[in-house]
Amino acid sequence: MQIENNPNYIRTPLYSFGTKTINTGSGIEYCVEYISEDKRQTRLLWFKESGEYIRLKAKHNIYEDTLEAEA
């Protein structure tokens, strides 16, 4: 499977407020999408270290996991 099509490495943008790619200059590069019109909140789309994609370890359904933890 190609990394570009794997949601564990690259997420598809869900919002239409724009994206920004940040390069730290120390071999780390990542892309975020703005999830609010004022561009104060972002969502990580992908992360690279030394040119290699790093697996995103976010949970798919955070709301459901929160409910289970509260029970």
Helix residue spans in the chain (DSSP H) = 62-70
Q: What is the pLDDT of residues 42-51, one digit of tens each?
A: 999 999 999 9
Do the Cβ atoms of 22 and 42 come closer than 8 Å?
no
Half-sphere exposure of 59 (CA within 13 A, CB side): 6
Q: Is the pLDDT of residue 61 over 90?
A: no
What is the rounded average pLDDT for all residues in the chain? 82
Do the Cβ atoms of 34 and 20 come closer than 8 Å?
yes
Residue 27 vs residue 66, higher pLDDT:
27
Tokens of 16: 């239409």
pLDDT at 58: 55
